[in-house]
Amino acid sequence: MQRCNKIYNHPLYKERTQIITEKEQNRIFCPHNLEHALDVARIGYIMIFEGGYKIEKELFYSAALLHDAGRYSDKPHNESGAELARIILPDCGFTPHETELIANAILGHRTNSQSDVFSKILYDADKRSRICFECKAQKECYWENEKRNHKIFI
């Protein structure tokens, strides 16, 4: 997990997470903080383990750390997040193949139309990390009902 720690300490990652923290200071909806990223990573890795998929833990954790880093940019956050991943990951020792795998999963994490298992698990883990059934802002939430997590499950 050495490369994940390099992501966490990367100046661009730090800059993006600081922007997100500032913008979400008074947010009533689910935050996009480190806790959320690690929830996505852990849930996704349980799904990988239980499904018997051959996905390296560090690759999935890296995707989870970066999946919302593009929020509050001038583009949809999945697009800017994929761009950020393509900058940050090589600096942290990821190969071009690993970088593209992660960037493509980030690019596709907002829709349920992914064709590869890695992207599908990132999408599902992101949704399952939210406890919509306990949220105090349910009535104001803009998420479609079918995207909301209505029960405890992995």
For residue 70, give its domain range: 2-147
Q: How confident is the model at residue 139 (pLDDT cuts 50, 70, 90)?
A: confident
Sequence letter at residue 127? K
How far apart are the C-alpha atoms of 108 and 113, rounded to whole Å?
Answer: 8
What are the DSSP calls for 86-136, one per residue?
HHHHHHTT--HHHHHHHHHHHHTTTSS--SSHHHHHHHHHHHHT--GGG-T
How far apart are the C-alpha atoms of 24 and 136, rounded to whole Å?
Answer: 16
How far apart are the C-alpha atoms of 115 and 108, rounded to whole Å?
Answer: 10
* Residue 37 domain-assigned (yes or no): yes
Q: Return the CATH number at 81.
A: 1.10.3210.10
How far apart are the C-alpha atoms of 120 and 86, rounded to whole Å?
Answer: 20
* Residue 154 domain-assigned (yes or no): no
| Tens digit of each residue's pLDDT (9 = 90 or more) over 12-52 | 999 999 999 999 998 877 888 899 999 999 999 999 999 99
| Tens digit of each residue's pLDDT (9 = 90 or more) over 75-134 | 988 899 999 999 999 999 999 999 999 999 999 877 766 678 999 999 999 989 988 777
Predicted pLDDT of residue 34: 93
Predicted pLDDT of residue 154: 64
Statement: the pTM of the whole predicted model exceeds 0.75: yes
Q: Which residue has the tokens 């399952």?
A: 128
Predicted pLDDT of residue 89: 98
Q: What is the domain count for the chain?
A: 1
**Residue 116 zone, left/alpha/beta (φ > 0; ψ -120 to 50; rest):** beta
How far apart are the C-alpha atoms of 126 and 32, rounded to whole Å?
Answer: 10
* Residue 153 domain-assigned (yes or no): no
Q: How confident is the model at residue 150 (pLDDT cuts 50, 70, 90)?
A: confident
Q: Which two tokens stand for residue 46?
A: 């349980």
Q: Measured in whole angstroms, how far is the alpha carbon of residue 133 from the centre of its chain? A: 21
Q: How confident is the model at residue 135 (pLDDT cuts 50, 70, 90)?
A: confident
* Residue 119 domain-assigned (yes or no): yes
